[in-house]
Amino acid sequence: MNCSEAQRLLYDYLNGELEQLDLSRVESHLKVCSSCLRTFEFERRFQSLFVDRIPEETAPPELRSAILDRIDQLEQPRTSFPLSRKRPFFRPALVLAPIGLVVVFLAIVLFTSDANRKEPLDILLQNHIRAESSTEGLIYSSSDPQSVSSHLERELGFQTSLAAYARSGAILKGGEVLQICNCKVGLAYFSTHEVGISLFICRQGELTCPQMETVSYRNREYHFASIREFNLLVWEEEGLKFIAVSRHRREALLDFADRRA
């Protein structure tokens, strides 16, 4: 083995990735070549900096307990949630990134009065803008988006497109199912830094609710409802049903919808 071959294998050697044959060839070269030996020693020393000199960081103890708590949650029998009880958004142990955590709502609207309407609503996220953060209202929480999503699906009885939403950068943190007039509304909580009004399109399904009032804004017709602290605006565009959900005031939602049109 010559020097250039040895140098080429230097990092593989230090990473312990050499096959026995190459390993012994490198080692015998190092026995006879002090120049290569020096560079090998140097690189080894350099490498050990990263093991020896980075201060031992240990995970905060509450992180461990938070994980264990959430595992306990996962192990709970999965039943439907009572809708009346108010629960804290995050338990203190889970509040690990409370600052700047913006909560976003995804509404999935389904008419429970129509038992046959079980096929997936085709819900697509279209757009979102900034909203203020929130600290309450979570009923279901999980760090695993899939489990939130499947929970909501179970509760609502149809497939959601939450994964499509998550692709836009938010992490699904939890959700809940509300009963409002004759509709079941699913709300999903996302953590993200830049989302606010969630807008969805339903390709199927009508949206009329006794509690919904009809609003006219700049020559267009909308349906508006307040569901607890959320405002919901529904309108039609070219045969598609749009749903915007937010904590924003009605005017903000109307303005948002109008700007889209």
Residues at the interface with another protein (CB under 8 A):
11-12, 15-17, 38-39, 42-43, 45-47, 49-51, 53-55, 57-60, 63-64, 66-77, 87-88, 91, 96-97, 99, 138-144, 146-147, 166, 169, 171, 191
Q: CB of residue 10 vs another protein: minimum separation in angstroms?
A: 9
Can you tell me which of 10, 18, 33, 201 binds Zn ion, judged by CB under 5 A? 33
3-state secondary structure 204-260: CCCCCCCCCEEEEECCEEEEEEEECCEEEEEEEECCEEEEEEECCCHHHHHHHHHHH
Q: Considering beta carbons, is residue 68 or 261 the nearer one to another protein?
A: 68
Q: Considering beta carbons, is residue 33 or 178 the nearer one to Zn ion?
A: 33
Q: Considering beta carbons, is residue 33 or 181 the nearer one to Zn ion?
A: 33
Can you tell me which of 36, 104, 180, 199 binds Zn ion, judged by CB under 5 A? 36
Angle (deg, nearest 10), helices 34-52 and 20-32: 120
Does position 9 interact with Zn ion (CB under 5 A)? The reply is no
Does position 3 interact with Zn ion (CB under 5 A)? The reply is yes
Q: CB of residue 36 vs another protein: minimum separation in angstroms?
A: 11
Q: CB of residue 67 vs another protein: minimum separation in angstroms?
A: 5
| Nearest by Cα to 132 from 183, 195, 206, 190 | 195
Which H/E stretch holds residue 111? strand 102-111
Does position 124 interact with Zn ion (CB under 5 A)? The reply is no
CA 203 to chain centre: 24
Q: What is the chain's length?
A: 261
Which tokens in the block code for residue 72? 């306990």
Which tokens in the block code for residue 203? 């390709």
3-state secondary structure of 187: strand
133 touches 246 (CB < 8 A): no
- The region of 36-44, 75-83, 90-98, 190-198 touching Zn ion under the rule CB under 5 A is 36-44
- The region of 29-37, 51-59, 72-80, 251-259 touching Zn ion under the rule CB under 5 A is 29-37
Binding site for Zn ion (CB under 5 A): 3, 33, 36
